[in-house]
Amino acid sequence: MATLLLYWFSNAATSELKRLRQYKIGQNEHKLKMANLYNDNNLVFCNIFGNYLDSSNVLKIMKKILDKNNIQEKRFHDLRHTYATRLFELGENPKTIQKLLGHSRLAIILDTYTHVPDAMKEQAISKIDDLYKSWGTT
């Protein structure tokens, strides 16, 4: 299962949805092979018995993926920060991001998980500049 997980994350050429479908097919085949030894906890990523993944194994797999792609070692939680920031950069609604991250208050993601890159600052300044130009005040 860990090898399948490593393949799923490292094969960047295939779309995410297609990879998830392929992973689900493999998981269903594995469930059948394991029969009554498999605990169906309805998890997307689980160990060979259908139980929660051990965090140390997840970190080992993540390290392999980072090494394979020549990416500096990161903390697992950094993925969460990156995910939220990229969604903001793409213009996703903050309330949607809050729900995806599972926070009860919007302020938590706005204060903790988002970072405003220079490009977004420049874009905001440009919008104000364009507004004033449209009024003929510049």
| 73 contact partners, CB below 8 Å, separation of at least 6 | 63, 66
The predicted pLDDT at position 110 comes to 84
Question: 47-51, 99-103, 133-137: lowest mean pLDDT where?
Answer: 133-137
The predicted pLDDT at position 1 comes to 47
Cα–Cα nearest to 4, from 67, 50, 59, 48: 48
By residue count, the chain amounts to 138
pLDDT tens-digit series, residues 78-132: 888 888 888 888 889 999 999 998 889 999 888 887 767 788 788 889 999 888 8
Structural domain spans, the chain: 1-73, 75-138
